[in-house]
Structure 1
Amino acid sequence: MESPPVPKIKLPTIEPFDGTIDPDDHLSAYKHQMYVQGVDDATWCKNFPATLKGVAQKWFNNLPPNSVNNFTELSILFTSHFVANRQEQKNNMHLGKVVQGPKEALRSYVKRFNLEALQIQDPNAGVAFDAFIRGLRPGSFKFNLVKKKISTLTEAAQEAEAFIHATEVCAKEKHPEAKKIEETIQPKKNLPKKAETWEVTSMPTSSKRSKITEPATSAEPIEFSKDQYSILMEIKDQYELKTPTEMKMAYRNRDKSKYFHFHKDCGQETIECKHLKRALEDLARKGKMNSY
């Protein structure tokens, strides 16, 4: 610790270490500020106590005289004494725990995944990419990654950025036709209920009223061996499905992160579409869906 006087230097402006946080984080912050000043090893040692307080300051004051010969030795003593405060070192397996929630936006999932990846030292690119794909919720974005044969995390991040941008643009710029449909549908909500229709049938002794009702369909629902989205992707070029009715939900109220491949519009996942379910059942009753 004994060395000739050195020119005045700027003391590190970092949060003082009080013995309750990760010693490696504090040491790293100290090194980053000292490197740029170009001073000798002894100066590194002399200025380090100024970044300590509380029990950490007491620990330094209790070091035996002449027990430290250089900053490397001081760093080892420091981290060894406060080793209990070290954070758990995360590895590539931790990325497998990052999973996109059922209603979580793609932007949020990508941000959480990147923050987790930054905490891993020397991450394996292949493992990271595999974890990113597995964590994605089934949908149009994940399907496009597989279809385009994306094989690296960098490419996946670029695709995610483009997809997020496209989704946000579609949410801001509503198509004129969609607006007209919405305006047409809205007034119908306030229309009164249609009055029941009755007819009078002549009877030998008296007149009796009978309510006209529409015949109820008794067709049993059909269960398929695959989900609707997978079936649609496989048969869309083989059969002509009945054109679905326009979506009744107002455009501004829809979930823009979900995409209807059957309606070709946003608002809900394809696997949840009731119109597609009915269309597939119609094909099945015609004997065209035996393989499903």
Structure 2
Amino acid sequence: MERQRGSPFSDLINQLPIPAKFKMSTWKMYTGLEDPVSHVPHFELQTDLQGVQDDARCRIFSGTLSKTAQCWFFKQQPGSITSWDGFVRIFYSQFSSAMPLLAEPNDLVDIKQRDNEPLKDYIQRFMQEATKVKFLSDDGKLIAINLAVKVKSLFWSSLKRKSTRTTQEFLDRAEEFIKLEEAERKMDNPTQATAMQEKTSARITTNPLEGSKNGGKNGKRCNRARNSGNQNDSKKPQTTEQSKP
């Protein structure tokens, strides 16, 4: 491949080979408005899986840029990009305004479980915010998530009786109470409760056709018994009292 006139790549990078089976059609383009910290690691993972390493990534990475980011790339001085690590530092510096602000460990303490918030939703919300903290130890995460559990809830009472030592142990304990909350929520649903009642009543009651047949047989037996009783009474001799003189 000939070196393009005014290319930001150095002669060494232009000479690096690219695998013939390399594919990049499904990659998401970077316009300069997205988070560069999430775009670069995803690109590095894809290139590693396809056998692209070292500084050959520089030539491929330029194909993932569009709009503002692409205009910035072609304005770089010819031969200014000499290595992948150096290019990443320049890239991060240029689009640092698009990076999300990193939270501090103390910010996690402010994430409290709301009054009507299910335990599952709260844990998902907390773990999502915890990913924004750059330097967060497991102990710090465990302390913050324990302090944010709704006071006097069943899970809160369980944690007071027996504390957890790791975040994974906390999540395992929480899973039991999440299942309990979901079961209670299903019972509180009128539609599901009605369906359960109908299902239960259907098991208890018998088939109405069978009941009518049995009822008809029983009615016939009673009528026969009454008729036979009337016939026996008619056969008995009737005695009348004679009036004394």
TM-score of Structure 1 vs Structure 2, range by shorter chain: 0.5 to 0.7
Matched, 1:168 2:182: yes
Residues 138 and 167, structure 2, Cα contact 8 Å, conserved in 1:
yes
Give the RMSD, CA atoms, in angstroms: 2.3
State the partner residue of 1:148. 162
Q: 27, 44, 65: which is aligned to 1:14?
A: 27
State the partner residue of 2:109. 96
TM-score, scaled relative to structure 2 = 0.65
Structure 2 gap ranges (5+)? 1-12, 198-245
Separation (CA, whole Å) in 2 of partners of 1:170 and 1:42: 57
Alignment: residue pair count: 176
Residues 98 and 113, structure 1, Cα contact 8 Å, conserved in 2:
yes
Task: Using the TM superposition, give the Cα deviation of residue 92 of structure 1 relative to its aligned residue in structure 2, in angstroms.
Answer: 1.5
Higher helix share: 2
Q: Deviations over 1:180-239 (max 9, x none)?
A: xxx9xxxxxxxxxxxxxxxxxxxxxxxxxxxxxxxxxxxxxxxxxxxxxxxxxxxxxxxx
Residues 31 and 65, structure 2, Cα contact 8 Å, conserved in 1:
yes
State the partner residue of 1:87. 100
Residues 19 and 56, structure 1, Cα contact 8 Å, conserved in 2:
yes
Superposed counterparts of 1:179-258, under 5 Å: none
Deviates more, 1:34-43 or 1:53-62: 34-43
Task: Using the TM superposition, give the Cα deviation of residue 173 of structure 1 relative to its aligned residue in structure 2, in angstroms.
Answer: 6.3
Task: Using the TM superposition, give the Cα deviation of residue 172 of structure 1 relative to its aligned residue in structure 2, in angstroms.
Answer: 4.5
Structure 2 CA distance for partners of 1:58 and 1:124, relative to 1, 3 Å? same
Residues 16 and 55, structure 2, Cα contact 8 Å, conserved in 1:
no
Separation (CA, whole Å) in 1 of partners of 2:116 and 2:49: 46
Q: 66, 71, 74: which is aligned to 1:61?
A: 74
Structure 2 CA distance for partners of 1:130 and 1:119, relative to 1, 3 Å? same
Separation (CA, whole Å) in 1 of partners of 2:56 and 2:25: 12
Separation (CA, whole Å) in 2 of partners of 1:72 and 1:123: 25
Higher strand share: 1
Structure 2 CA distance for partners of 1:173 and 1:5, relative to 1, 3 Å? closer
Separation (CA, whole Å) in 1 of partners of 2:176 and 2:168: 13
Matched, 1:25 2:38: yes
Segments ≥4 residues shifted beyond 6 Å: none
State the partner residue of 1:231. none
State the partner residue of 1:49. 62
Residues 113 and 122, structure 2, Cα contact 8 Å, conserved in 1:
yes
Residues 3 and 42, structure 1, Cα contact 8 Å, conserved in 2:
no
Separation (CA, whole Å) in 2 of partners of 1:47 and 1:150: 47
Task: Using the TM superposition, give the Cα deviation of residue 7 of structure 1 relative to its aligned residue in structure 2, in angstroms.
Answer: 3.4
Structure 2 CA distance for partners of 1:170 and 1:39, relative to 1, 3 Å? closer
Q: Deviations over 1:33-74 (max 9, x none)?
A: 111122243421111111001111111111111111111111
Residues 14 and 29, structure 1, Cα contact 8 Å, conserved in 2:
no
Separation (CA, whole Å) in 1 of partners of 2:83 and 2:116: 54
Separation (CA, whole Å) in 1 of partners of 2:115 and 2:164: 23
Report sequence identity in percent. Answer: 27
TM-score, scaled relative to structure 1 = 0.55
Report SS of the residue matched to 2:59. helix
Separation (CA, whole Å) in 1 of partners of 2:115 and 2:61: 49
Structure 1 gap ranges (5+)? 184-292
Residues 32 and 68, structure 2, Cα contact 8 Å, conserved in 1:
yes
Larger-Rg structure: 2
Separation (CA, whole Å) in 2 of partners of 1:122 and 1:45: 29
Matched, 1:132 2:132: no
